[in-house]
Structure 1
Amino acid sequence: MATSSGMVLKITALTSVGLGGWFAGQLFEKWKHVRQNRDSQTSLLSEISIKNMPGLPIFGTVSAATPMLPPENNVGPVTPSLSATASRVSQIMKFGFPGLDHVRSFDDFVLSYDRRNRVAHWVFEHLSKDNVKYNEGVDRSKCEFLPDESIHPYFRSDNADYKRSGYDRGHLAAAGNHKAHQKHVEQTFYLSNIAPQVGVGFNRNAWNRLERYVRKMTDVYTDVYVCTGPLYLPKKEADGKKYVRYEVIGTNHVAVPTHFYKIIVGETKDSKLEMEAFVMPNVPIDDSTPLTNFQVPPESIERAAGLLFFDKISRNKLAKVNGKRVGWV
């Protein structure tokens, strides 16, 4: 009996030790796992500069343009192409960005893309005599409309959206504004720079007249800065209420703007600045209608678009707005 009792006690003791060791091992593994996670998070957070901003998720992302500095202000080696691109973007956006939502820079123009409507919020260009003059080496007929693959497939438009829609693929940055290089013209055919426009009477007529007028401004000004974009304006209907209604086309539901705007700033040789602003309805317009009929106060476009244009220019320092003298200049 004594021997049996001794054996039971030994087995019980060994079992207790084994179970205790197993529990200890499990606790150690859990502690090690938690420690590793905490260390990895600490390491990750230490590599990211996070400001204490209420309302912003810690790991949220904001799509915005990164300021590009001229080569002399950059630290470290800069490739010639990157340096040239940064310099050109700085030149185009000399007077400020209207917004920073999904900014996309091309070689000769910059745009902000509206992923919901599949049409740009705005497109910015800088024109001079050199980039609008005739260039026999540039052939527009070689250009093809292409989807912009830098945009997520969920949010980009496709040529199929325009097929049998009844609308032209209308340029925002005009192809005729970028004749310096074949590549520059070709880039204006990316669909991120395109919007559905009524063809006869608008895109091929009135809107084309406005684009040609803007190019002619390079005869008067040394530098011309152009911002172009869509508007979706309200209209009073039979019940007396105002509604914003617009058509969408294709499987990607590309929005058809009700109107389009252009805001232009011309800079003279003596650094005086003059501004003109236009809004055109996306409908057939009679050829006899003068362009001045579509001039509007710039602030009316800003209110409608929800954007501030040329915000680095104080309005009271403009010499003229829509041909009329303003300010103290």
Structure 2
Amino acid sequence: MPLVSIDLTLLVLTGSSFFILGAYYQHHDFLSKVHRLIQEDPYAFYIREKLYDTLQLFNPYCLDQLDGSSSRMSQIMKYGFPGLDDIRVYSDFILSYDRRNRVAHWVYEHLRAPCVKSNGNGAHRRESYYQADMSVPSNFRADLTDYRDSRFDRGHLAAAGNHKCHQTHCNETFYLTNIAPQVGKGFNRDAWNNLEIYVRDLTERYGSVYVCTGPIYKPKHQLRGVTDAEHCGKVDDKWCVEYEVIGENTVAVPTHFFKVITVESKLPGGSPYMEAYIMPNAPISSSTNIRNFLADIREIEHIAGLQFFNGLRRSFFFGTNYSTASDIYRNFV
């Protein structure tokens, strides 16, 4: 074979090898960047299935490569995002912020037994302090002065008592993005606190609980007299939404609050158990059982404009929305 032909063949082989290696490392680097993006950006995480489908056109095994590890965000949002407005990712919870009302739309937590138990080595609430979240633009931000002399408590949505593993986790629950105006005596310090304790009890018993909490501005029925000639003597049937605002930044005072609780079974492949609650932001008698506030999750979705467990059938969940503990609840493991 002529020497020129051999040199040309070697040149082609060498060039092809470098091209293949370069393409491989470029592809691997691209997959790593996509993986980091999905783990860190909630919007990319939300559309990850579409990203996977696109990438599989080039590499059918990329799904396995991308799913090789899991971020805290993917753990917390295992059952999907209820909405995607102004998502904010903290170290141990995630929320959607309502810029108009200066409170969250919803806050999602994944609770684990070790982090809800009191112990001397964990986080301490007394070392945390309320503070505005400076990452929120100033014209949409709630401030400590808004709550001053308002007669309302600074009520946690993600409870500080749910995040005792690390001081940072506890501290971040005191950002005002995670706070809403709540009636103090009879609600925040009593009935609502009892519901939070109930959630922690479930966590200690079953080990893994997902909880989504948020405000509701519930319409109420009003009857108004009508005096015009056409409707004289009749009553005009009206529905309206009314709520108070506090402070110069007009922080909204919710009429109600909700919790959607998902308890995972200890049995391999066992269906999760789900409950939903709606409580009025008002004094509640100490004799009232919190299970009186069990609600249909569809009511929360309708009023709050959210969608829970997107892509999952409701029959996937094992649960009850009755006002008393049912056989299903008692027999759940």
TM-score by length of 1: 0.73
Q: Can you give the 5+ residue segments of structure 2 that lack an aligned partner in the other structure?
A: 1-40, 49-62, 225-236
Structure 1 residues 97, 163: closer, same or farther in 2, change over 3 A?
same
Please, what is the CA RMSD of the aligned residues?
Answer: 2.3
**Are residues 1:104 and 2:101 paired?**
no
- Alignment partner of 2:71: what SS? helix
Q: After superposition, give the CA deviation of every residue in 1:201-246 in whole Å (9 maximum; x if it has no partner).
A: 1000000000000000013323100000000011122414111000
Report matched runs for 1:190-201 at 5 Å: 190-201=175-186
Q: Which amino acid aligns with 2:77?
A: M
In the alignment, the residues of structure 1 paired with residue 255 and residue 274 of structure 2 have an alpha-carbon distance, to the nearest angstrom, of 23
Query: Contact 1:109/1:123 (CA < 8 Å) preserved in 2?
Result: yes
Aligned to 1:38: none
Q: Please identify runs of 4+ aligned residues in structure 1 that moved more than 6 A.
A: 68-71
Structure 1 residues 72, 168: closer, same or farther in 2, change over 3 A?
farther
In the alignment, the residues of structure 2 paired with residue 241 and residue 124 of structure 1 have an alpha-carbon distance, to the nearest angstrom, of 34
Q: After superposition, give the CA deviation of every residue in 1:244-271 in whole Å (9 maximum; x if it has no partner).
A: 0000000000000000000001011123
Aligned to 1:294: 293
Query: Contact 2:109/2:158 (CA < 8 Å) preserved in 1?
Result: yes
Aligned to 1:26: none
Report matched runs for 1:6-17 at 5 Å: none
Report which of the two structures shows the higher radius of gyration computed on alpha carbons.
1
Aligned to 1:250: 247
In the alignment, the residues of structure 2 paired with residue 135 and residue 309 of structure 1 have an alpha-carbon distance, to the nearest angstrom, of 33
Residue 99 of structure 1 deviates from its aligned partner by 0.6
Q: After superposition, give the CA deviation of every residue in 1:20-48 in whole Å (9 maximum; x if it has no partner).
A: xxxxxxxxxxxxxxxxxxxxxxxxxxxxx
Aligned to 2:315: 316
For residue 78 of structure 2, the aligned residue among 88, 94, 97 is 94
In the alignment, the residues of structure 2 paired with residue 313 and residue 289 of structure 1 have an alpha-carbon distance, to the nearest angstrom, of 33
In the alignment, the residues of structure 1 paired with residue 173 and residue 42 of structure 2 have an alpha-carbon distance, to the nearest angstrom, of 21
Aligned to 1:117: 101
In the alignment, the residues of structure 2 paired with residue 64 and residue 92 of structure 1 have an alpha-carbon distance, to the nearest angstrom, of 11
Residue 72 of structure 1 deviates from its aligned partner by 5.3
Report matched runs for 1:39-78 at 5 Å: 65-67=43-45, 73=66
In the alignment, the residues of structure 1 paired with residue 260 and residue 67 of structure 2 have an alpha-carbon distance, to the nearest angstrom, of 32
Structure 1 residues 136, 312: closer, same or farther in 2, change over 3 A?
farther
Report matched runs for 1:192-271 at 5 Å: 192-239=177-224, 240-270=237-267, 271=270
Q: Which amino acid aligns with 1:73?
A: L
Identity across matched positions, percent: 53
Q: Which amino acid aligns with 1:246?
A: Y
Q: Which amino acid aligns with 2:292?
A: N
In the alignment, the residues of structure 2 paired with residue 181 and residue 64 of structure 1 have an alpha-carbon distance, to the nearest angstrom, of 23
Q: Which amino acid aligns with 2:273?
A: E
Report matched runs for 1:117-156 at 5 Å: 117-137=101-121, 138-156=123-141
In the alignment, the residues of structure 1 paired with residue 166 and residue 241 of structure 2 have an alpha-carbon distance, to the nearest angstrom, of 40
TM-score by length of 2: 0.73
Q: Can you give the 5+ residue segments of structure 1 that lack an aligned partner in the other structure?
A: 1-62, 76-82
- Alignment partner of 2:137: what SS? coil
Report matched runs for 1:184-195 at 5 Å: 184-195=169-180
**Are residues 1:274 and 2:269 paired?**
no
Query: Contact 1:217/1:266 (CA < 8 Å) preserved in 2?
Result: yes
Q: Which amino acid aligns with 1:309?
A: F
In the alignment, the residues of structure 1 paired with residue 67 and residue 219 of structure 2 have an alpha-carbon distance, to the nearest angstrom, of 46
In the alignment, the residues of structure 1 paired with residue 120 and residue 208 of structure 2 have an alpha-carbon distance, to the nearest angstrom, of 23
In the alignment, the residues of structure 1 paired with residue 200 and residue 107 of structure 2 have an alpha-carbon distance, to the nearest angstrom, of 16
